[in-house]
Amino acid sequence: MGIPLMRTKTWAYASGAFFGGIAGAFYASYKAETFPDDFYFNISVFILCMVILGGMGNVWGVLLGAGFLAYLDRQGIPNAGAWFNAKFGTNFEVAKYSFGIYGLIILVVMLFRPEGLVPSSRRKAEFQTEELSDEPLYDVQR
């Protein structure tokens, strides 16, 4: 289509690195000091779960996944734990297993709906379940 692929990908990578560096500089100046312990792996998994749940390549899907998981993190899991403890008379802390629940969500979505809840049209076409190669390309009967 006339678009220089290598140059476009390089510019996309460079602009992403630029904005990530700017954000890191602002974060470091905000905290006045940074250490590797300030960045948790759990947050990366949580953001990955948001993207996978919503659908990669679709901004609205990622926003929907982020909203759902933010609700689940702040209110859903604690309320479910309180309901479970009231119903069964236990003292089970569901919030301790929240990242296991997020891992289960990633697993279920990747197995049953790999394009996400709201996939982009391109991702939907990639995961199309119909096989297009079943129809012959010629009219000759054998």
Domain ranges of the chain: 8-36, 40-123
User: CA of 7: how far to CAs of 11, 16, 22, 120, in Å?
Assistant: 6, 14, 22, 24
Which pLDDT score is estimated for 126? Answer: 67
Instruction: Name the pTM for this structure.
Output: 0.62
Whether 46 and 19 have beta carbons less than 8 Å apart is answered as no
Helix 41-54 and helix 98-112, axial crossing angle in degrees, nearest 10: 30
Which pLDDT score is estimated for 61? Answer: 86
Which pLDDT score is estimated for 15? Answer: 95
Which pLDDT score is estimated for 37? Answer: 83
Tens-digit pLDDT profile for the chain (142 aa)? 788 889 999 999 999 999 989 998 998 899 888 888 877 887 888 888 888 888 877 788 889 989 999 999 899 999 989 998 999 888 888 888 888 888 898 899 889 888 888 877 776 666 665 555 555 556 656 5
Measure CA 9 to chain center: 22
| CA–CA separation, 70 and 56 (whole Å) | 18
Cα dihedral 58, 97, 45, 114, rounded to 10, equals -40
